[in-house]
């Protein structure tokens, strides 16, 4: 059960890091060496990771993550209650905890997948708020 929380925290952290990197990218042009032949080769594994996760799984992952964020923010729950509710939220979304964690790790490594997850999360966050 703790793996769910660790993956969630890592995903939230990676999102913050990615936003900081985006800000750094706009402030400073990339070095010419970064545009060499190694860049396309590095993108290939990331594209493979995105292809290994279906749109349905991305949607389920995003739905679960939005629920996990709400559970984490609920100060009326004890940590044990949060863990139980978090596992239930992942399972209710149609994913098992191992698959949820695998998608989270893939999203950390793959900017394309991370963008798809963010888009899906925004859709689900809008449903819970409105």
Residue in the block written with tokens 């888009």: 119
**What pLDDT is attached to residue 49?**
55
Q: What is the pLDDT of residues 53-64, one digit of tens each?
A: 999 999 999 999
CB 121 within 8 A of CB 62: yes
pLDDT, tens digit (0-9, with 9 covering 90-100), for 87-118: 999 999 999 999 999 999 999 999 999 999 99
The per-residue pLDDT for 53 is: 92
**Would you state the structure tokens that stand for residue 80, as one six-digit string?**
């044990």
For 11-61, how does the pLDDT look when each residue is reduced to its tens digit (9 = 90+)?
A: 554 443 343 334 334 444 444 444 444 444 445 555 555 558 999 999 999
């Amino acid at each position: 059960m703790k793996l769910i929380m660790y993956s969630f925290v890592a995903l939230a952290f990676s999102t913050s890091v990615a936003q900081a990197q985006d800000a750094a990218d706009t402030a400073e042009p990339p070095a010419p060496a970064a545009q060499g032949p190694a860049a396309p080769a590095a993108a290939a594994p990331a594209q493979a990771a995105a292809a290994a996760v279906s749109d349905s799984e991305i949607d389920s992952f995003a739905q679960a993550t939005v629920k996990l964020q709400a559970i984490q923010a609920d100060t009326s729950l004890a940590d044990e209650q949060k863990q139980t509710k978090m596992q239930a939220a992942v399972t209710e979304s149609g994913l098992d905890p191992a698959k949820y964690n695998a998608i989270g790790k893939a999203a950390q490594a793959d900017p394309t997948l991370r963008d798809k997850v963010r888009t899906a999360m925004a859709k689900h966050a809008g449903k819970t708020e409105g």
